[in-house]
Amino acid sequence: MEWRKRVGEEEANRISTHAARRGTKVHQMCEDYINNELDEKKFLPTDKEMFLSIKPTIESSINNVYAQEVGLYSDYLGVAGRVDCIAEWDGKLSVIDFKTSRKPKKKEYISSYFQQASAYAIMWEERTKIPINQLVILIAVDGNSPQVFIERRDNYSKELINTIQRYKQENVNI
């Protein structure tokens, strides 16, 4: 909200729309690449550049893909969503989330990313009985090296549950 006030509503909407489109395109390239279906000619050079910055990390760290863009739900949490990728990251089963950013992120600013990944790990275990304890956030950053943040699911489970409860309390009439 502070950022929106600072830059103005119109500029904030323009930046947000651009970021969402770029994120969707880069995410699609990651998915297509992992599925051996990438046709780089379909994408803009700026999107391709962001993807190419994280491609070596994907190549060296992701193996044994279990699922991509799979819908999941949890009776326990009362939520649903589509996970980006469930695969082994450096040999350890992980929820992997692909993100883009205009500038590098500090780990303390991406708690919501870890909460989301934690939700997917819980949903996956509820549906398959296969636990996932590692969360990986891979961020393609404009003009910079990619960022990789790795955390444990249980470090964010309580925060996730509190966020869900707070949302339900604030939106009781929805």
Q: What is the pLDDT of residues 3-38, one digit of tens each?
A: 778 878 887 777 777 777 888 889 999 999 999 999
pLDDT digits over 143-170, tens only?
Answer: 899 999 999 999 999 999 999 999 888 8
Q: Which residues, listed in sequence order, are joined to residue 148 by a DSSP beta bridge?
A: 138
64-112 residue pLDDT tens: 999 999 999 999 999 999 999 999 999 999 999 999 998 999 999 999 9
CATH topology of domain 2-170: Lambda Exonuclease; Chain A (3.90.320)
Q: By percentage, how much of the chain surpasses pLDDT 90? A: 71
pLDDT of residue 173: 65
Model pLDDT, residue 11: 76
Question: Going by C-beta distance under 8 Å and a sequence separation of 6 or more, which residues neighbour residue 172?
Answer: none
Residue 174 pLDDT grade (very low, low, confident, very high; cuts 50, 70, 90): low
User: Crossing angle of helices 45-61/9-34, nearest 10°?
Assistant: 50
Q: Within its chain, how far is the Cα of 67 from the centroid?
A: 14
The answer to whether residues 49 and 29 touch, using CB atoms and an 8 Å cutoff, is no
Task: Please name every residue paired with 150 in a beta bridge, in sequence order, or none if there are none.
Answer: 136
